[in-house]
Structure 1
């Protein structure tokens, strides 16, 4: 079954003369979809982008992490592993070639997952292996995605 997704990207960086001069325009845009919050974006700060705005690299890495999380939560529920909190701080390594072309070399997810006491942690850990074959976003990127989960037992929290 196929699904179609839509988005609207609007460049907001015309500073008055369009792209007449390389440094005369901003690399900013908005992602807008009816009924959803606007996401104002910029390019990577390494390329002069606004560090307070999301950039394509942030969005891709976050999308991989979110997709992994959603599938993990689904698989945990199906396996009777009760997750009560999930937080991730993904990292990615990228490269830029002399001609300016770039890509991600790898992404690593670092989820911290809080589970109930008496949870089978081996099973909870194994569920991560079951995510990648079904995660829409991870299956769509060509760099390796790995994960280093850490588990917290709910009663250990203060």
Structure 2
């Protein structure tokens, strides 16, 4: 039996032509829209360190958010299967990157730091152990070439 293949489609449209296209390096904006059929358009820009608009998502934001969301969804799945009732889940992931003198950059690592609220009586040890299974299945974590660590905090509902 073969593996199930998935296809993902998006449309990326540069919105930064200020009138002269790329006639000069500083004469255009580093902005674009991401459009996925049937979903809201996401306005993006490059990293603010490179002159991007800090009010818009950049590729690094999107990658880190995708990594966190994928982990969260698998965590919730495994929690439901294990009978661990999660009532709230928030993450403030942090990515660490480097940029060389020529401008090429990459992520060196990411740390997911979720705060997870559990229903009264939940087994925190079981809840904590669920994390260890996720990196083997998370589509995004399996696709990146940098280490991803996970430092959860748990709270029990009163």
TM-score normalised to structure 2 length = 0.97
User: Aligned residue for 2:96?
Assistant: 93
User: Aligned residue for 2:21?
Assistant: 18
Work out which of the residue numbers 76, 83, 86 in structure 1 matches 2:86: 83
- For 1:79-98, what per-residue CA distance to the aligned partner results, in whole angstroms no more than 9, with x for missing partners? 11000100000001000011
- For 1:19-47, what per-residue CA distance to the aligned partner results, in whole angstroms no more than 9, with x for missing partners? 01000000000001222101000000000
1:52-91 to 2 correspondences below 5 Å: 52-91=55-94
Q: Following the alignment from structure 1 to structure 2, what is the Cα–Cα distance between the partners of residues 4 and 14?
A: 30
Unaligned 5+ segments in structure 1 are none
Work out which of the residue numbers 104, 109, 113 in structure 1 matches 2:116: 113
Residue 120 of structure 1 deviates from its aligned partner by 1.1
User: Aligned residue for 1:154?
Assistant: 157
Work out which of the residue numbers 36, 39, 61 in structure 1 matches 2:39: 36
Residue 65 of structure 1 deviates from its aligned partner by 0.1
Question: Following TM superposition, where does structure 1 have runs of at least 4 consecutive aligned residues deviating by more than 2 angstroms?
Answer: none
Unaligned 5+ segments in structure 2 are none
Q: CA RMSD in A?
A: 0.6
User: Aligned residue for 1:141?
Assistant: 144
Q: State the aligned residue count.
A: 155
- SS where residue 113 of structure 1 aligns? strand
Work out which of the residue numbers 135, 152, 157 in structure 2 matches 1:132: 135
Q: Following the alignment from structure 2 to structure 1, what is the Cα–Cα distance between the partners of residues 99 and 137?
A: 30
- For 1:61-111, what per-residue CA distance to the aligned partner results, in whole angstroms no more than 9, with x for missing partners? 000000000000000000110001000000010000111110000000110
